[in-house]
């Protein structure tokens, strides 16, 4: 969900400066939701790849230390 409070604050600041925009329109919120989804997928894949490379090294070090 796109937090609209920062968008409303930015819209108010721009309105004081004389620029009237509607930042809470469907097009803007949908594009921000798409961007958030892309970031979520990218960071999830990065965490998974990190977990598999460090997880196997930690397991092998623990097994070597036990012996």
Taking only the tens place, the pLDDT of each residue in 32-61 is 889 999 999 999 999 998 887 765 555 566
Please say if the pLDDT value at position 21 is more than 70. Answer: yes
Q: What is the pLDDT of residue 23?
A: 81
Would you mind telling me the total number of residues written for the chain in this entry?
A: 67
Decide if 14 contacts 39 (C-beta within 8 A).
no
Residues 6+ apart with CB under 8 A from 57: none
């Amino acid at each position: 969900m796109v937090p609209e409070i920062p968008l409303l604050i930015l819209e108010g600041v721009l309105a004081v400066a004389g620029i009237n925009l509607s930042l809470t329109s469907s097009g803007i919120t949908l594009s921000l939701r798409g961007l958030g989804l892309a970031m979520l997928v990218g960071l999830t894949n990065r965490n998974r790849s990190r977990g598999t490379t460090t997880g196997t090294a930690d397991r092998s070090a623990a097994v070597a230390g036990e012996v």
